[in-house]
C-alpha cells in the first residue's frame, strides 16, 4: 500500500514501532526483585496510576522509584530499580534507524512517545551510544515526550499540541503507533493513521 501522496509529515510512536519493546521483561524483573508472583506484579502494574503519572511528568524520578518500592515492597537501590525498569527496552534495529534517516529527506519526521526520564536517559546513554546519532532526538525533526508535555496519548490534547507547535495540517500528517487507542486518539483530531500490528510493518509500508 503506497503512502498517500498528500502526506508531508510523519509522526512515529517509539516502543513497538521504532524501538523493540518487552514490558514482560520488566514485569519479570520486578517479580524477581520483590518475590511477588509475576501475575500479581502485572496486575498491580496495570491498575496503579503511578506509572501513568510518571509518564506525564507529574512525579520526579526519585518519587517514581519510591512508588515502585512501595507498590512491590522492594528493598533495592536506585540502580537496581532502574535496571528492572529499563529491562523492557530491548534496542533499536539498525535498519529502522536507517529508514528514519531516509524518510527525513522526504518528509517532516516527528516522534511522539509516552515515555519518561529514566527510559530516555538509558536510551541515549546506552542503547544509542554507538549508533548513527548519540541522541534519539537527532533521528527526527523534532521529538515530543509525554513527561515533558505533561500529557500522554491517547489524549486529543497531545496530538493538537504537536500540530499547533509545528504548524502541521492534520490531513497532511500520518501517525504510526502499535497501540490502537493511540491510533484512535490521533484519528479524532483528523490525523491519518496506521496501526502498526507487526514490528516490521513500517518496512512494507514505506517500501
Q: CA-to-CA distance for 25 and 195, rounded, in angstroms?
A: 24
Is 50 part of a structural domain of the chain?
yes
Same domain for 63 and 147?
no
Within a domain: 57: yes
Contacts of 119 (CB under 8 A, 6+ apart): 85, 86, 89
Range list of β-strands (E), the chain: 9-12, 20-21, 89-91, 108-113, 142-145, 173-177, 192-195
Task: With both helix axes pointing from N to C terminus, report the angle between 156-166 and 180-188 in degrees, rounded to the nearest 10.
Answer: 60
Is residue 198 helix, strand or coil?
coil
The pLDDT of residue 1 is above 70: no
**Average pLDDT in the chain:** 96
Provide the edge-to-edge strand list for the sheet that holds 192-195.
142-145, 108-113, 9-12, 173-177, 192-195
Cis peptide before 154 (omega within 30 of 0): yes
Contacts with 204 (C-beta within 8 Å, 6 or more apart), sequence order: none
Q: Express each pLDDT in 68-115 by its tens digit.
A: 999 999 999 999 999 999 999 999 999 999 999 999 999 999 999 999
Could you read off the pLDDT of 179-197 as tens digits, one per residue? Answer: 999 999 999 999 999 999 9
- pLDDT, one tens digit per residue, over 135-151 is 999 999 999 999 999 99
Domain-located, residue 131: yes
Same domain, 82 and 99: no
Q: For residues 145 and 182, state if they share a domain.
A: yes
What is the value of pTM for the model shown? Answer: 0.96
For residues 114 and 143, membership in a common domain is answered with: yes
Per the structure, the complete domain to which residue 39 belongs is given by 23-86
Q: Which residues pair with 193 in a beta bridge?
A: 175
**Number of domains within the chain:** 2
69 and 144, same domain (yes or no) = no
CB-CB contact of 124 with 73 (8 Å): no
18 contacts: CB under 8 Å, gap ≥ 6: 12, 92, 96, 97, 100, 111
95 and 133 inside one domain:
yes
Q: Report the CATH number that the domain containing residue 58 is assigned in CATH.
A: 1.10.150.240
Residue 180, classed as helix, strand or coil, is helix
Shared domain check, 68 and 112: no
Q: What pLDDT, in 10s, does the model give residues 40-57?
A: 999 999 999 999 999 999
Residues 72 and 103 in one domain: no
Q: Assess whether 107 and 195 both reside in one domain.
A: yes
Amino acid at each position: 500500500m503506497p503512502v498517500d501522496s498528500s502526506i508531508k509529515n510523519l509522526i512515529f510512536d517509539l516502543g513497538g514501532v521504532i524501538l523493540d519493546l518487552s514490558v514482560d521483561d520488566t514485569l519479570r524483573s520486578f517479580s524477581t526483585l520483590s518475590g511477588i508472583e509475576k501475575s500479581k506484579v502485572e496486575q498491580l502494574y496495570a491498575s496503579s496510576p503511578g506509572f501513568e503519572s510518571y509518564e506525564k511528568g507529574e512525579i520526579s524520578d526519585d518519587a517514581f522509584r519510591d512508588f515502585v518500592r512501595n507498590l512491590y515492597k522492594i528493598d533495592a537501590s536506585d540502580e537496581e530499580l532502574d535496571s528492572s525498569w529499563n529491562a523492557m527496552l530491548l534496542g533499536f534495529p539498525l535498519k529502522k534507524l536507517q529508514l528514519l534517516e531516509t524518510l527525513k529527506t522526504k518528509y517532516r519526521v516527528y516522534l511522539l512517545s509516552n515515555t519518561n526520564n529514566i527510559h530516555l536517559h538509558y536510551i541515549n546513554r546506552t542503547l544509542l551510544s554507538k549508533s548513527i546519532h548519540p541522541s534519539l532526538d537527532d533521528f527526527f525533526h523534532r521529538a515530543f515526550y509525554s513527561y515533558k508535555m505533561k500529557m500522554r496519548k491517547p489524549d486529543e490534547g497531545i496530538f493538537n499540541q504537536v500540530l499547533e507547535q509545528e504548524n502541521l495540517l492534520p490531513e497532511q500528517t500520518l501517525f504510526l503507533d502499535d497501540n490502537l487507542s493511540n491510533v484512535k486518539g490521533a484519528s479524532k483530531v483528523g490525523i491519518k493513521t496506521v496501526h502498526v500490528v507487526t514490528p516490521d510493518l513500517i518496512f512494507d509500508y514505506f517500501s
